[in-house]
């Protein structure tokens, strides 16, 4: 892809993101519930005090003013103050983001390394016992709700067998000075192998729970597209050349079969973000998803706005990268 084309695609993202920010702002502002009332709670305040609070938070201004103020500041990276934390929203998000990124990455890796080999295997051994097992498994994978599956895992491994921790990111004994803020990497960089395994034992259940639906979908996509590719003439021709089975399968078939898998994986990575809210809540994972859920309950508008905008941007960017990856894998496509 030429640089001009790349820039053009990048510029196309602007209207999309603008639209997203309007929707995000409107949805949150129009949702019933008053943050000031929630902050007051049971305390007794005078109307003057309440009005002062409202003014303090900028909630006394008309809605369009608030939107443009939000947009203008957002472009500069200022998402306002978190009502609840009394700190800049961006700082709160930055604090929570690494945990979510780490969890999503591990979930993604688990999904990719299980789904692709399973999908290929199911396609090669079509209609075998393994294929059927994988089919049933993937059906379960997409249909099991994350909160339920997560709780099942907790009950089995944490409560019953007591081999994995119930919640959190790492034990107190393993706390380390952060470098990248990704604990699995930091613990290794600090040479704390024990802490690494501690972090691993914390992340494994939430990552599996989060990655399960994606694994299931990717497996189905890989299987279907592998079956499709294996029927193609160029596979027969590759076999007629006398190439080894590995060469035919991996060089000729898989490279073509992965094209749809990659697109779906990129889009599904976006949906991991949504899954994060549930999984982080179930496993007490100190990430962005849980922060958003908490913020919704306390009507912490600025934070929810910023987080949803962040999700939307991530989603759009993932699709953008999927397109680019697509052109790399598929030489016929020019963006």
Partner 1 sequence: MSAPTDKTLLQVEGLRTVFETRDGTVCAVDGVDVIVERGECLGVVGESGSGKSVTFNSVMGLVRSPGRIEAGRIMFEGRDLRALNQTEMRAVRGRDIAMTMQDAMTALNPALTVGEQIAEMLEAHDKGLPSGRNARRRAIRAHSVKMLGLVGIASPETRLGQYPHEFSGGMRQRIMIAIALASMPKLLIADEPTTALDVTIQAQVLELITDTRAKLGMSVVLITHDLGVVAEHCDRVMVMYAGQVVEQGRTADVIMRPKHPYTKGLLGSLPRLSLRGQRIEPIEGQVPELIDLPAQCRFYSRCRERGPECLKNIEMRDAGNGQTARCVRVQKELAT
The answer to whether the CB of 311 falls within 8 A of the CB of 301 is no
- How many CB atoms are located within 10 Å of the residue 125 CB? 13
Tokens read off for 321: 């990268």
Alpha-carbon distance values, 254 to 111, 112, 117, 243, 266 (Å): 17, 14, 10, 15, 18
Residue 125 in the binding site for partner 1 (CB under 8 A): no
d(C-alpha 47, C-alpha 51), whole Å: 6
d(C-alpha 303, C-alpha 299), whole Å: 9
Residue 241 in the binding site for partner 1 (CB under 8 A): yes
> By C-beta, is 124 or 185 nearer to partner 1?
124
d(C-alpha 18, C-alpha 31), whole Å: 20
- How many CB atoms are located within 10 Å of the residue 178 CB? 13
- Contact segment (CB under 8 A) with partner 1 among 77-85, 91-99, 246-254, 286-294 equals 246-254
Contact flags string 248-277 toward partner 1, x per CB under 8 A? ---xx--xx--x------------------
d(C-alpha 157, C-alpha 162), whole Å: 6
Residue 332 in the binding site for partner 1 (CB under 8 A): yes
Q: Helix (H, G, I), strand (E, B), or coil: what is residue 171? A: coil
DSSP string of 7-67? HHHHHHHHHHHHHHHHHHHHHHHHSS--HHHHHHTT----HHHHHHHHHHTTTTS-HHHHH
C-alpha 79: how far from its chain's center? 21
Residue 64 in the binding site for partner 1 (CB under 8 A): no
> By C-beta, is 209 or 261 nearer to partner 1?
261
Tokens read off for 125: 């051994």
> By C-beta, is 114 or 256 nearer to partner 1?
256
Residue 239 in the binding site for partner 1 (CB under 8 A): yes
- How many CB atoms are located within 10 Å of the residue 140 CB? 12
Q: How far is the CB of 242 from partner 1 (least distance, A)?
A: 3
Residue from 73, 247, 326, 327 binding partner 1 (CB under 8 A)? 247
- Contact segment (CB under 8 A) with partner 1 among 7-15, 164-172, 182-190, 323-331 equals 323-331
Residue 236 in the binding site for partner 1 (CB under 8 A): yes
Q: How many residues bind partner 1 (CB under 8 A)?
A: 23
Tokens read off for 212: 């399960």
Residue from 160, 162, 242, 246 binding partner 1 (CB under 8 A)? 242
> By C-beta, is 256 or 300 nearer to partner 1?
256
> By C-beta, is 66 or 126 nearer to partner 1?
126
- Contact segment (CB under 8 A) with partner 1 among 6-14, 188-196, 207-215, 324-332 equals 324-332
Q: How far is the CB of 247 from partner 1 (least distance, A)?
A: 7
Residue 128 in the binding site for partner 1 (CB under 8 A): no
Residue from 147, 237, 250, 297 binding partner 1 (CB under 8 A)? 237
Residue 244 in the binding site for partner 1 (CB under 8 A): yes
Q: How far is the CB of 232 from partner 1 (least distance, A)?
A: 6
- Contact segment (CB under 8 A) with partner 1 among 21-29, 144-152, 178-186, 231-239 equals 231-239
- How many CB atoms are located within 10 Å of the residue 20 CB? 18
Q: Helix (H, G, I), strand (E, B), or coil: what is residue 81? A: strand
Binding site for partner 1 (CB under 8 A): 232-234, 236-245, 247, 251-252, 255-256, 259, 329-332
């Amino acid at each position: 892809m030429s640089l001009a084309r790349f820039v053009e695609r990048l510029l196309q993202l602007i209207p999309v993101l603008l639209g997203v920010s309007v929707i995000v702002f409107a949805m949150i502002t129009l949702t019933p519930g008053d943050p000031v009332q929630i902050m007051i709670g049971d305390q007794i305040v005078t109307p003057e005090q309440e009005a002062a609070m409202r003014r303090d938070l900028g909630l006394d201004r008309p809605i369009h003013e608030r939107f443009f103020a939000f947009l203008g500041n957002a472009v500069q990276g200022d998402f306002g103050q978190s009502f609840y934390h009394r700190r800049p929203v961006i700082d709160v998000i930055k604090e929570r983001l690494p945990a979510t990124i780490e969890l999503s990455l591990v979930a993604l890796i688990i999904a990719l390394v299980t789904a692709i080999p399973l999908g290929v295997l199911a396609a090669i051994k079509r209609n075998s016992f393994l294929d059927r097992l994988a089919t049933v498994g993937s059906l379960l994978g997409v249909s099991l709700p994350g909160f339920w599956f997560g709780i099942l895992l907790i009950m089995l491994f944490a409560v019953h067998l007591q081999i994995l921790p119930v919640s959190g990111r790492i034990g107190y004994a393993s706390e380390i000075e952060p470098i990248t803020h990704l604990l699995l990497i930091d613990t290794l960089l600090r040479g704390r192998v024990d802490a690494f395994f501690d972090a691993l034992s914390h992340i494994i259940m939430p990552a599996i729970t989060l990655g399960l639906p994606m694994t299931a979908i990717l497996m189905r996509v890989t299987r279907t597209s592998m079956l499709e590719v294996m029927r193609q003439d160029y596979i027969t021709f590759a076999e007629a050349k006398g190439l080894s089975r590995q060469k035919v399968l991996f060089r000729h078939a898989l490279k073509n079969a992965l094209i749809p898998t990659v697109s779906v994986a990129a889009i599904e990575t976006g949906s991991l973000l949504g899954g994060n809210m549930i999984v982080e809540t179930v496993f007490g994972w100190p990430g962005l998803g849980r922060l958003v859920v908490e913020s919704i309950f306390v009507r912490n508008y600025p934070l929810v706005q910023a987080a949803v905008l962040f999700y939307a941007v991530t989603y759009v960017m993932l699709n953008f990268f999927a397109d680019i990856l697509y052109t790399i894998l598929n030489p016929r496509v020019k963006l």
